[in-house]
Amino acid sequence: MSISQKIRKNIIFEQQIIVEVNQLTELNHFRLLGRSGLRVSPLCLGTMTFGTDWNFGAEKEECRRIFDLYLERGGNFIDTANNYTNGTSETFLGEFIGSHREELVLATKYTLNCRPGDPNAGGNHRKNMVQSVEASLKRLQTDYIDLYWVHCWEFRTPIEEIMRALDDLVRAGKILYVAISDAPAWKIAQANTIANLRGWTPFIGLQSEYNLIERTPERELIPMAEDFNIGLLPWSPLGGGLLTGKHIDTHKEYLQSPETSTDIARGSLITSRMNEQNLAICEAVQKIAQEIGHSPAQVSLNWLLQKSSVTSIILGAKTVKQLEDNLGCLDFTLTPEQMQYLDEVSQIKLGFPHDFINSEMVKNIVSGGSNIAS
């Protein structure tokens, strides 16, 4: 356990519990986000489904019910982006939040182009950053954003420009903390090193896809985040729906005959993830779910919550029923044996240089045969 994780353990602050990262609790048992004092719920309400502009989200009335349920259960962490449902997500939130603004940790993002044809309406540069934050503030009906995300890395804007511009927004009081999503580990490490050396605001959070069928962040992103004390917020924690268990029969059908399988399988966004290993993972999740009387989605989320690198999981729901089921992941704890079983069935090869430098041969050569504690 790192020093920062030890500090998080069992701290009582104004009658609200801040818990150790891998301790399962309730929505109102908060965790510290990365190298900061910001308290956030272990489950974050993702709002990419707020609005039907993209033909897959929820109507306004259902969005309001989802929002209200999350707050009623004690949640305080809301995630959106300037481009989600063409700005409707932020607009809805601006209406919903009302008197709850001060008690919520409100996060939004910039980078993606919201005005096709305008080359400066997208990217990570200062111009897009400033115009994006101003537009988000108006839609959200607030004068500051708690956590501002670089939505994805685009390899064009100098890293110094990004970090200095973000720091300027912090100093102006328009944003309080900064974070990054969908970026290479080496660029995040470079960004935070520069920020720390120059006294600028560093990233305290990282969004990355991370779930039982997508564990590749364990190669570079997660070790980097742990070393820099950056809080990890997994998105798509259910693997695009594959880990809910509802696609297992379609999964089997697709593997047996991809060319003649159902239209559902061929047209699904998760078809590319239908392979033998992922089927084995989904069946393992379903097996545990049946044994303990919880849904496969709850089992998959519970596995994530027990990972020490994970601070908060981003949940996206199109219905109140979906959110209710997902929140049930806090009601139990997988046993060490169950965690090991899921770890083993979903295990990935770390590849070079990790497998090489962790081999017994290299360890013995480096240590000269001495027994050195890690």
Distance CA 309, CA 305 (A): 9
Report helix angle 276-292 to 248-256, nearest 10: 150
CB atoms within 10 A of CB 102: 7
- Write out the E strands in the chain: 11-13, 16-18, 31-32, 39-40, 43-46, 77-79, 105-110, 145-150, 175-181, 203-209, 231-235, 313-316
> Which residue is catalytic, options 84, 110, 177, 254?
84
For residue 36, what are the contacts with CB-CB under 8 A and spacing of at least 6? Answer: 177, 204
What number of residues does the chain have?
374
- Distances in Å between the Cα of 174 and the Cα atoms of 102, 166, 267 are 14, 10, 43
8 Å CB contact between 133 and 169: yes
8 Å CB contact between 276 and 248: no
Burial (CB count within 10 angstroms: exposed 0-12, middle 13-18, buried 19+), residue 198: exposed
> Which one, of 269, 133, 273, 151, lies nearest residue 213 by Cα?
273
For residue 330, what are the contacts with CB-CB under 8 A and spacing of at least 6? Answer: 24, 25, 26, 27, 42, 43, 305
> Where do we find the tokens 């240089």?
353
Residue 350 token pair: 């770390």
8 Å CB contact between 118 and 131: no
Q: Is 254 noted as a catalytic residue in this protein?
A: no
Which DSSP string do the residues of 91-131 spell out, in sequence order? HHHHHHHGGGGGGSEEEEEE-S-SSTT-GGGSSSSHHHHHH
For residue 325, what are the contacts with CB-CB under 8 A and spacing of at least 6? Answer: 295, 297, 298
Give the residue numbers annotated as catalytic, written as ranges: 84
